[in-house]
Structure 1
Amino acid sequence: MALTVTAATARFNREMMASEAAIADALVAATSLMHTAAIAQRDFPDAPVIQSQSALLHLNKMLASLIESRGEAARVHGQLRDIGREMGATEIPFCPDAEATLPLAERAA
C-alpha cells in the first residue's frame, strides 16, 4: 500500500522527532559517562594512566560522533521540511490529522 502525503508527513514528523530525541538522550548519557570517567581518573591516581587516557580519548571520539550526528539530523530535518514544502505537505489541506501524529498504540481503533 502506497503512502499518502498526509500519512508520509505524519510518519516523517513522528520518526524525525524520535530520532532527534534518541540522539539527544545518547549525548546526555555519553556526557555523563565522560564526567564519571574524568572524576575517576582524578580520584584514583593509582589507576593505569595510559589505559585511563585511552578510554577518555575514545569517549571523546564517541561524543564528537554524537555531536556530528546531531548536526546531520538537523540537516536531514531541514531537507525533509523543504521537500514537504515543495510537495505541499505543509499546507493546510495536507497537514496530518491530530490522530495521525500519535504513536500507533495511542490511535483510536
Structure 2
Amino acid sequence: MPVPNPALKERLEKEVPDAEVRIDDALIAVSSLMTSVVTARREVNGVPPAKGQETIQRLAKAQLALIDASGNVLRVHGDLVRFGKETAGYDLHECPSLTRSTVQKLQAVA
C-alpha cells in the first residue's frame, strides 16, 4: 500500500535531520578518538613520534569521509526542500505555457 504524501513528508522531515545529527555524532566520536590516540602517543614514555602515524592517518581519512557524508546529506536536504516547493505549489506539467517559457530560457542559456 503506498504511503500518502503527508506521511512521506513527515517521515522525511524526521529522518533527514536525524541523519544529519547522527553523522555529526559520528564525527565528534572520531574526533574524540583522534584526540585520545594522539594524546596516548605523546604521553607514553619511549614511544617515538612516528609510532601510530598510520593509525592517525586512517582516523583523519575517516573524519574526511564523515565530512563528505555530511555535505552530501546537506545537499540531499536542500534537494528535497526544493522538490517539496516545486511539487507543493503547482506541477509544471499542468501549465504548458510556463513549461515552454522555461524551455526557451534554458535554450537561450545553452
TM-score bucket (shorter structure): 0.7 to 0.9
Instruction: Tell me the alpha carbon deviations over residues 16-63 of structure 1, each in whole angstroms, 9 at most, x when there is no partner.
Output: 111111101001101000111111111125236555001000000000
Asked whether the equivalents of residues 23 and 69 of structure 2 are also in contact (C-alpha less than 8 Å), the reply is yes
Please name the residue that 1:96 is paired with. Answer: none
One-letter amino acid of the counterpart of residue 55, structure 1: T
Instruction: Check 1:39–1:33 CA distance in 2 against 1; reply closer, same or farther (3 A cut).
Output: same
Pair 1:68 & 2:71 matched: no
Could you say which residue in structure 2 is the equivalent of 1:24?
24
Residues 68 and 45 (structure 1), Cα distance of their counterparts in 2 relative to 1, 3 Å cut: farther
- The unaligned stretches of length 5 or more in structure 2 are 90-110
AA matched with 2:16: M
> Is contact 2:41-2:51 (8 Å) kept?
no
Which protein is bigger by CA-based radius of gyration? 2
User: d(CA) in 2 for partners of 1:39 and 1:49?
Assistant: 11
Residue type of the alignment partner of 1:57:
Q
Bigger relative contact order (CA 8 A; separation at least 6): 1
- Alignment: residue pair count: 89
The RMSD of aligned alpha carbons is 1.6
Higher mean C-alpha displacement, 21-30 vs 44-53: 44-53
The equivalent residue for 1:44 is: 44
SS in structure 1 at match of 2:2: coil
Deviations 1:53-104 (A, max 9, x none): 0100000000010111111110000001111111108xxxxxxxxxxxxxxx
Distance 1:55 1:45, change over 3 A: farther
Rounded to whole Å, the distance in 2 between the matches of 1:25 and 1:87 is 32
Give the distance between the partners of 2:7 and 2:51, measured in 1 at CA: 51
Q: Does 1:12 align with 2:12?
A: yes
